[in-house]
């Protein structure tokens, strides 16, 4: 997908952004590792963050940061491979490394270039610590390091008797398994109930048939008594058989009546083990506010509401970093200094309120401040200055539409870079987290009165309330948290001149055909009325056209195998009460489909798609390619690139190898297996420069394989030029 123009930033500025962004991911992963143990997803998150920082540092020549991130990455990889464990010593070392990496983001260009003595000594110490932890013999690793929360196989715990209030530790993996099994049990018992409903309908049909047989026999006795007499034993046997079927139905119904409440209680009990009070993370916020307020010279009161609200533990753990960013944003950008507040007729002490509650079947987290509000004029000025929006488009934007720019990576209304602001890091992290959970993030601001950020999230990651719709005769699900309303409009009212739209109170809303976007068999829309689902993200809207609505219900979510990568337009999987499988659609992907559905801009030129998980590398490559006249779109990983390749036409793909969700090798293999894309030229640019790595990339189907360790802009342009020619003037 495309990414905004960051050409006004220096490469060292981009490096600082990268460190800040990835440090947030690293911190979140370490916090979750402390809470849940050495989970595969958390370890992968930490490893990827360290890997990205390493790559960015190497590309801009910050050697100390390269060495430190490399040492941290090697330690986490050793844990992933089971070569060492994740005990307190390893966690503390990684946290020390994280703190040191963050200091690099605060250095000016000169200090980054030459390094500080204190950095040299600290990095050397951390490198040695990582090496020692990575290379220690297995016998030196305690049982806790093999999977925190699980009992060691070599040191079994003695049998215990359950006592009131006794706490038991269980690994996150086992809890996920229990949750899935409880959900499956609930699905099966509900399927049994539906089966019984069908059985009783058949019983009524059998009764009617038996009655019809009695009438036929009565008529036969009058016409041919001897024949009727011979049929009487058969009728008696049929009656006995049907009475037996009724008794079996009644017995099965008794079992179902007893089993259903037991399974429902089991499911609720297992789900309750996943729930923790909001206070578990809220109580860490007052010290954070106190520290940040002191550094900024502001007086602040923090109000916490809904500390008793029960939240799914997986959601709760992911909230820590976003809440930190939102509070930092409120303190630094929202609240005024005491003297400014007094001059505006406000009390000198500002107020930040963090609230949690259950509302309309979802979890709602709000962060509100009573500060100056968001300066829409400054937003507009900065967005136009950065060429993020064309002037003619800007003229049509409503006041609150400008809030969308706050969530762009690297966007900031600050001209100066401080320890807390100016790099545009934070709100994009919040939005990524919310979208990753299938939720919605909105902002409301009044000049002079303050700002409120609202995070609307599912109550749990195990169960989601969804709207069921029919597409190509099969059921699909949409998260109810993203559904604004259902509409039935005359088919003739959909304007199909160019991009399909429908006129609503909100104005013209784009219409997306669900069957077309999922590449299902096309069908003619000959119905007089169209069934639409109005989906939202902030002020963005899309009307999804479906076959029909099938109602709402709660389903047990099943995450998709990470080995599949991110499947376009799919968020998760689930199943109906009768066991019918279905896919939960990704609303963000659907909204992006609308944004990329328009015709390509005129002016031509050769277009290159760059796929790399490093912000620094992506933008360095864009600067080189656009400087040579190529048009460039950017993708953050293989899945993002795969989706882009199916929504726009490109002349060449330039991809990294090590990327989350789908790596570059798998991306190239899929591309070569796609009839439409198999001839697209591909250049791989990777840190892996060994002969075996090169062979693997070329065998997958790449046309060129370049090593980042030998990176040279002229060599890259030569490879691109060899494959698709020099860029044509626009």
- Determine the structural domain holding residue 538 and report its residue range: 463-594
The residue out of 423, 455, 487 marking a domain boundary is: 455
Q: Flag the least confident range among 171-175, 342-346, 563-567.
A: 563-567
pLDDT at 144 over 50: no
* Measured distance CA(554)–CA(574) in Å, rounded: 10
* Measured distance CA(15)–CA(29) in Å, rounded: 21
Residue at 698 is within a domain: yes
> Is 260 found in the same domain as 202?
yes
Closest alpha carbon to 90 in 67, 70, 111, 74? 74
Instruction: Tell how far CA 157 is from the center of its chain.
Output: 38
> Is 320 found in the same domain as 338?
yes
> Is 634 found in the same domain as 688?
yes
CATH number, domain with residue 347: 3.30.565.10
* Measured distance CA(463)–CA(556) in Å, rounded: 4
pLDDT at 722 over 50: yes
pLDDT digits (tens, 9 = 90+) for 382-427: 877 776 666 776 777 777 777 877 876 556 655 544 444 543 445 7
Helix, strand, or coil (residue 369): strand
Residue at 399 is within a domain: yes
pLDDT at 599 over 80: no
CATH number, domain with residue 99: 1.20.120.160
> Is 443 found in the same domain as 298?
yes
The percent of residues above 70 in pLDDT, for the chain, comes to: 81
> Is 4 found in the same domain as 27?
yes
pLDDT of residue 339: 92
User: Any long-range contacts for 168-177 (C-beta under 8 Å, 24+ apart)?
Assistant: 171/36, 171/37, 171/147, 172/36, 172/37, 172/39, 173/39, 173/147, 174/150, 175/273, 175/274
Residue at 157 is within a domain: no
> Is 450 found in the same domain as 303?
yes
Residue at 165 is within a domain: no
> Is 687 found in the same domain as 609?
yes
Where are any strands of DSSP class E within 290-361?
300-305, 310-312, 350-359
* Measured distance CA(643)–CA(605) in Å, rounded: 22
> Is 409 found in the same domain as 307?
yes
Residue at 51 is within a domain: yes
In this structure, the dihedral spanned by the alpha carbons of residues 435, 439, 444 and 449, taken in order and rounded to 10 degrees, is -100
For residues 169 and 569, the model is more confident at 569
pLDDT of residue 348: 93
The residue out of 566, 594, 622 marking a domain boundary is: 594
For residues 183 and 627, the model is more confident at 627
Residue at 213 is within a domain: yes
The residue out of 244, 276, 308 marking a domain boundary is: 276
pLDDT of residue 151: 32
> Is 3 found in the same domain as 133?
yes
> Is 446 found in the same domain as 524?
no
pLDDT confidence band for 3 (50 / 70 / 90): very low
The DSSP bridge pattern shows strands 652-655 and 682-686 to be parallel
Strongest mean pLDDT among 333-347, 515-529, 616-630: 333-347
Tell me how crowded residue 604 is: count the other CB atoms within 10 A of its CB. 12
Number of domains in the chain: 5
* Measured distance CA(182)–CA(177) in Å, rounded: 9
CATH number, domain with residue 560: 2.40.50.180
> Is 570 found in the same domain as 711?
no
CATH number, domain with residue 695: 3.40.50.2300
> Is 715 found in the same domain as 633?
yes
pLDDT confidence band for 346 (50 / 70 / 90): very high
pLDDT confidence band for 602 (50 / 70 / 90): very low
The arithmetic mean of pLDDT across residues 596-614, rounded, is 64
For residues 502 and 605, the model is more confident at 502
pLDDT of residue 353: 96
The arithmetic mean of pLDDT across residues 299-313, rounded, is 90
Two tokens, residue 148: 């925190």
Q: What is the mean pLDDT of the chain?
A: 79
Q: Flag the least confident range among 18-32, 61-75, 150-164, 269-283.
A: 150-164
Residue at 166 is within a domain: no
Residue at 225 is within a domain: yes
User: How far separated are the first and last CA of the chain, in Å rounded?
Assistant: 21
pLDDT confidence band for 561 (50 / 70 / 90): low
């Amino acid at each position: 997908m495309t990414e905004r123009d960051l050409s006004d930033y220096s490469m060292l500025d981009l490096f600082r952004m990268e460190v800040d962004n990835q440090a947030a991911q690293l911190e979140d992963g370490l916090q979750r590792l402390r809470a849940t143990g050495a989970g595969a997803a958390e370890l992968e998150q930490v490893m990827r963050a360290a890997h990205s920082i390493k790559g960015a540092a190497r590309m801009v020549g910050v050697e100390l940061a390269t060495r430190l991130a490399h040492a941290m990455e090697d330690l986490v990889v050793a844990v992933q491979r089971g070569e060492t464990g994740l005990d307190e010593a390893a966690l503390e070392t990684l946290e020390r490394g994280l703190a040191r990496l963050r200091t690099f983001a605060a250095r000016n260009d000169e200090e980054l270039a030459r390094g500080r003595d204190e950095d040299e000594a600290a990095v050397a110490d951390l490198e040695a610590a990582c090496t020692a932890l990575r290379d220690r013999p297995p016998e030196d690793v305690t049982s806790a390091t093999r999977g925190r929360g699980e009992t060691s196989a070599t040191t079994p715990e003695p049998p215990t008797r359950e006592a009131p209030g006794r706490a038991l530790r269980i690994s996150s993996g086992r809890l996920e398994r229990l949750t899935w099994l409880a959900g499956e049990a609930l699905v099966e018992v509900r399927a049994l109930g539906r089966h019984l409903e069908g059985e009783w309908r058949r019983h009524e049909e059998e009764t009617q048939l038996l009655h019809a047989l009695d009438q036929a026999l009565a008529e036969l006795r009058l016409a041919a008594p001897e024949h009727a007499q011979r049929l009487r034993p058969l009728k008696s046997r049929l009656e006995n058989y049907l009475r037996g079927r009724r008794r079996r139905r009644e017995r099965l119904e008794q079992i179902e009546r007893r089993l259903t409440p037991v399974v429902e209680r089991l499911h609720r009990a297992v789900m309750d083990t996943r729930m923790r009070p909001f206070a578990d993370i809220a109580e860490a916020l007052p010290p954070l506010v106190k520290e940040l307020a002191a550094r900024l010279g502001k007086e602040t009161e923090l109000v916490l509401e809904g500390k008793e609200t029960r939240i799914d533990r997986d959601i709760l753990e992911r909230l820590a970093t976003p809440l930190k960013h939102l509070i930092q944003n409120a303190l630094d950008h929202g609240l005024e200094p005491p003297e400014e507040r007094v001059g505006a007729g406000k009390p000198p002490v500002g107020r930040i309120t963090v609230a949690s509650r259950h509302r309309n079947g979802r979890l709602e987290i709000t962060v509100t401040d009573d500060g100056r509000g968001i300066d829409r004029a400054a937003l507009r000025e900065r967005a136009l200055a950065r060429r993020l929006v064309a002037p003619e488009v800007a003229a049509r934007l409503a006041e609150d539409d400008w809030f969308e720019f706050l969530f762009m990576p690297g966007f900031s209304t600050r001209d100066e870079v401080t320890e807390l602001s100016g790099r545009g890091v934070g709100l994009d992290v919040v939005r990524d987290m919310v979208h990753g959970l299938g939720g919605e993030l909105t902002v409301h601001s009044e000049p002079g009165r303050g700002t409120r950020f609202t995070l609307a999230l599912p109550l749990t990651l195990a169960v989601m309330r969804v709207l069921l719709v029919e597409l190509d005769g099969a059921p699909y699900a949409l998260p109810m948290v993203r559904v604004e309303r259902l509409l039935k409009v005359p088919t003739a009212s959909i304007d199909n001149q160019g991009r399909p739209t429908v006129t609503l109170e909100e104005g013209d809303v784009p219409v997306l055909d669900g069957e077309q976007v999922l590449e299902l068999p096309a069908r003619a829309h000959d119905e007089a009325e169209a069934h639409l689902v109005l989906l939202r993200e902030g002020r963005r809207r899309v009307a999804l056209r479906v076959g029909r609505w099938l109602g709402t219900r709660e389903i047990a979510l099943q995450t998709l195998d990470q080995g599949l990568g991110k499947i376009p337009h799919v968020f998760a999987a689930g199943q109906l009460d009768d066991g019918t499988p279905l896919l939960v659609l990704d609303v963000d992907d659907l909204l992006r489909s609308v944004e990329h559905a328009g015709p390509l801009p005129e002016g031509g030129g050769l277009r290159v798609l760059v796929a790399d998980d490093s912000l620094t590398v992506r933008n360095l490559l864009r600067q080189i390619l656009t400087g040579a006249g190529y048009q460039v779109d950017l993708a953050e990983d293989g899945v993002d690139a795969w989706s882009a390749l199916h929504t726009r036409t490109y002349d060449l793909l330039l991809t990294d190898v090590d990327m989350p969700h789908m790596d570059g090798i798998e991306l190239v293999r899929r591309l070569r297996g796609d009839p439409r894309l198999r001839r697209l030229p591909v250049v791989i640019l990777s840190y892996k420069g060994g002969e075996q790595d090169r062979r693997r990339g070329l065998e997958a189907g790449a046309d060129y394989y370049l090593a980042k360790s030998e990176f040279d802009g002229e060599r890259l342009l030569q490879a691109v030029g060899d494959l698709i020619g020099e860029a044509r003037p626009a």
